[in-house]
């Protein structure tokens, strides 16, 4: 099982929704969404999973963003009620980060008819391992998402999911110019042998979270692919006119041309790749958010085909 972790920003959510609506998502993939901003895009995305009968895990105590604070506002009453109702659906897996408030979260979930054996818990801070052991005891959550590190492996054993951030983050997009391709992950090959029920990552976005965006000097497109040994690698396609922040459409055209030329040899065929190729042919600029959406969609469809044994 693969558990891509995505923040609930607009284009991450749209990537998930389009994958579901276009039937691109394997039954062996359970996305984990950490809501960060109140929006109808979030509730529509969760609805798309419910209608398709696909599982989606929703983090109920997000650690970044303004979701919890903004959800309390009177102006967001409708979305708050919708989001609360969605958590009752069998396709929505209630999920919590393990923090000092774990006991309260689990008791509150139980009051609402959600037992511990249906919860997904994310424990990524060693400070709370003792708290996990004290609260959980000999009970077994549905999934325990943990880093592949000694203390976590030794102290959390049942239903473990290996979680690593594989995205090779650079300070600036232009820094990818000298890195055409690099290792991304082999977790999908070894997670079961290492005693895990599944593997998780932060797709081609990375774990780092920022509230605000900025106009980049360079446009970079990140595309994952399998090598001849089924190891995941990631290729970077970077614009050339990177002296200032002007003309992002030109920068995108330069980057996507490199992707299209590269793919003449690679022959990757996913909806995300076809969208990039269409933008190149039509000389259109979809915007940086959509560029991210296409890259995520490609990653999820590629992993779906791999997990379902479809020729890639």
Tokens of 24: 């691109």
Q: Could you tell me which residues come within 8 angstroms of residue 222 by beta carbon, excluding any fewer than 6 positions away?
A: 167, 176, 204, 234, 235, 236, 237, 295
Yes or no: say if 103 and 136 are a contact pair by the CB < 8 Å rule: no
Query: Which tens digits make up the pLDDT trace of 202-235?
Result: 999 999 887 766 788 999 999 999 999 999 999 9
Residue-level pLDDT at 212:
67
Could you list the beta-strand ranges (E) of the chain: 2-7, 32-34, 56-59, 92-97, 120-122, 143-146, 160-163, 181-185, 198-201, 220-226, 232-238
First CA to last CA across the chain, in angstroms? 18
**How far is CA 39 from its chain centroid?**
18
Residue-level pLDDT at 213:
66
Question: Is 174 in a helix, a strand, or coil?
Answer: helix
Q: Could you tell me which residues come within 8 angstroms of residue 283 by beta carbon, excluding any fewer than 6 positions away?
A: 253
Yes or no: say if 264 and 194 are a contact pair by the CB < 8 Å rule: no
Angle formed by the axes of helices 10-21 and 288-307, nearest 10°: 40
The percentage of residues in the chain with a pLDDT greater than 70, rounded to a whole number, is: 99
Residue-level pLDDT at 136:
95
Q: Could you tell me which residues come within 8 angstroms of residue 138 by beta carbon, excluding any fewer than 6 positions away?
A: none
Residue-level pLDDT at 135:
94
Q: State how far the Cα of 63 lies from the Cα of 60, in Å rounded to an integer.
A: 9
Residue-level pLDDT at 311:
63
Query: Which tens digits make up the pLDDT trace of 247-274?
Result: 999 999 999 999 999 999 999 999 999 9
Residue-level pLDDT at 312:
62
Residue-level pLDDT at 79:
93
Yes or no: say if 41 and 75 are a contact pair by the CB < 8 Å rule: no
Helices (H) and strands (E) in the chain, counts: 11, 11
Residue ranges in the chain modelled with pLDDT below 70? 212-213, 311-312
């Amino acid at each position: 099982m693969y558990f891509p972790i995505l923040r609930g920003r607009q284009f991450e959510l749209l990537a998930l929704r389009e994958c579901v609506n276009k039937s691109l998502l394997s039954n062996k993939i359970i996305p984990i969404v950490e809501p960060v901003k109140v929006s109808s895009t979030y509730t529509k995305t969760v609805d798309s999973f419910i209608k398709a009968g696909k599982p989606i895990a929703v983090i109920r105590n997000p650690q970044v963003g303004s979701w919890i604070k903004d959800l309390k506002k009177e102006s967001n009453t409708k979305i708050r009620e919708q989001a609360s109702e969605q958590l009752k659906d069998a396709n929505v897996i209630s999920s919590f980060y393990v923090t000092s408030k774990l006991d309260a979260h689990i008791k509150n979930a139980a009051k609402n008819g959600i037992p511990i054996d249906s919860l997904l818990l994310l424990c990524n801070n060693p400070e709370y391992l003792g708290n996990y052991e004290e609260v959980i005891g000999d009970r077994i959550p549905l999934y325990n998402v943990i880093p592949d590190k000694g203390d976590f492996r030794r102290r959390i054993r049942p239903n473990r999911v290996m979680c690593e951030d594989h995205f090779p983050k650079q300070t600036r997009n232009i820094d990818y110019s000298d890195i055409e391709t690099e290792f991304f992950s082999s977790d999908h090959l070894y997670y079961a042998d290492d005693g895990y029920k599944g593997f998780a990552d932060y797709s081609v976005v990375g774990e780092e979270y920022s509230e605000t965006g900025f106009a980049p000097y360079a446009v970079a497109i990140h595309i994952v692919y399998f090598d001849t040994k089924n190891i995941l690698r990631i290729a970077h396609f970077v614009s050339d006119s990177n002296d200032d922040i002007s003309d992002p459409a030109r920068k995108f055209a330069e980057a996507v041309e490199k992707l299209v030329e590269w793919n003449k040899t690679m022959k990757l065929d996913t909806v995300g790749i076809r969208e990039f190729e269409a933008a190149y042919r039509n000389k259109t600029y979809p915007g940086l958010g959509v560029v991210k959406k296409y890259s995520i969609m490609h990653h999820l469809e590629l992993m779906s085909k791999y997990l379902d044994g479809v020729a890639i």
